[in-house]
């Protein structure tokens, strides 16, 4: 299938926010104002989908409302990019109801992470559209310490040239949405190299437990020649991550995977470098794969923007690790 690479964003463009998972009603006034200012500074005009404030017992809305807003956003020629409000638990409900011809005929930036992993990878599998595992609309509502996230947002979504990832100097794992000023920055020790190697391949993945929901369906992308980017939130304890990774290893094309990059774990997951190394070493299928962890993506901040379906080159060694997105 031919890849579809959406046009980049430019100052003056209009973007649309949709609630493919949870509702905008969850986002407070302060965060909304900060997010608007962030988009203003980028030169982007925010618009919101018709049903975005709807909410039900699952802090979401009907499949019909969510699919309608998705289709409308892709069909609106004034909209140059689509951002999801936030993650959640149910975006995979939409996949059977999406008109894939609408997506295919109107390629544009689609960006979100966490539960949106199901949509990111399904879009690529069904249409060849490169989508982006990156900040939600809600992510832009952070008052402090968003600079690193914004830097790689611009490099991936507002520029055409290849870009390299430099590890952040600090990171955070606090509930900033509860108290914008109660932030704790943690020194970043850099990448954690588990197994060395060099390779180039297609970036696939995102939130591991959500990605695994696509297994055995028409929405699971081909992972042959893939560089898997995987991460999970605080609920992914070491034993949960272990079995989720094992499930991915059981996929028919896994023997053709080229590398694994693992996003930083949240503190409450209780994952350690030693435990992660043990998990990797128990799996013979991973023996010859380059594997690097503690990469700036996932449920901690900052988070880089990853082109799902794009081409990435990675050099992993104890001395230096280089991650470069070539096609995005």
Q: What is the number of alpha carbons within 13 Å of residue 27 lying toward its C-beta? A: 28
Task: Give the SS3 label for residue 177.
Answer: coil
Catalytic residues: 114, 231, 299
Beta strands in 173-310 (DSSP E): 186-187, 192-195, 197-207, 226-231, 259-263, 291-295, 306-308
A 10 A CB-CB count for 55 gives: 16
**Start-end of H helices in the chain:** 29-41, 63-75, 100-105, 117-127, 147-157, 208-211, 238-249, 273-281
Long-range contacts from 207-210, C-beta under 8 angstroms, 24+ separation: 207/87, 207/113, 207/114, 207/115, 207/117, 207/231, 207/232, 207/233, 207/298, 208/232, 208/236, 208/241, 208/244, 208/245, 208/248, 209/236, 209/240, 209/244, 210/92, 210/114, 210/115, 210/117, 210/118
């Amino acid at each position: 299938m031919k890849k579809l690479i959406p046009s980049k964003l430019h100052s003056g463009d209009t973007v649309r926010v949709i609630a493919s998972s949870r509702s905008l009603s969850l986002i407070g006034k302060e965060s909304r104002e900060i997010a608007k200012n962030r988009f203003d500074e980028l030169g982007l005009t925010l618009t919101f989908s018709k049903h975005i404030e709807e909410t039900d017992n699952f802090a979401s809305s009907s499949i019909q409302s969510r699919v309608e807003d998705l289709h409308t956003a892709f069909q609106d020629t004034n909209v140059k990019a689509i951002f999801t409000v936030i993650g959640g638990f149910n975006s995979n409900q939409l996949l059977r109801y999406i008109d894939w011809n609408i997506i295919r005929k109107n390629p544009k930036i689609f960006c979100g992470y966490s539960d949106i992993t199901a949509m990111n990878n399904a879009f690529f599998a069904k249409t060849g559209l490169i989508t982006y595992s990156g900040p939600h609309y809600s992510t832009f509502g952070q008052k402090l310490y968003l600079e690193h996230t914004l830097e790689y947002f611009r490099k991936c979504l507002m520029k055409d040239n290849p870009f390299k990832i430099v590890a952040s100097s600090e990171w955070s794992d606090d509930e900033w949405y509860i108290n914008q000023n109660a932030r704790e920055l943690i020194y970043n020790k850099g990448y954690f190299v588990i197994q060395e190697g060099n390779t180039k391949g297609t970036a696939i993945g995102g939130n591991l437990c959500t990605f695994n929901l696509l297994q055995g369906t028409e929405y699971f992308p081909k992972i042959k020649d893939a560089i898997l980017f995987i991460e999970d939130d605080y609920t992914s304890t070491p034993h949960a991550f272990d079995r989720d990774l094992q499930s991915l290893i059981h996929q028919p094309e896994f023997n053709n995977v080229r590398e694994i990059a693992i996003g930083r774990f949240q503190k409450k997951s209780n994952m350690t470098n030693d435990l992660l190394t043990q998990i990797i070493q128990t799996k013979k299928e991973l023996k010859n794969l380059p594997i690097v962890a503690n990469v700036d993506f996932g449920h901690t901040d900052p988070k880089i923007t990853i082109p799902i379906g794009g081409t990435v080159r990675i050099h992993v060694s104890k001395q230096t690790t280089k991650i470069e997105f070539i096609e995005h």
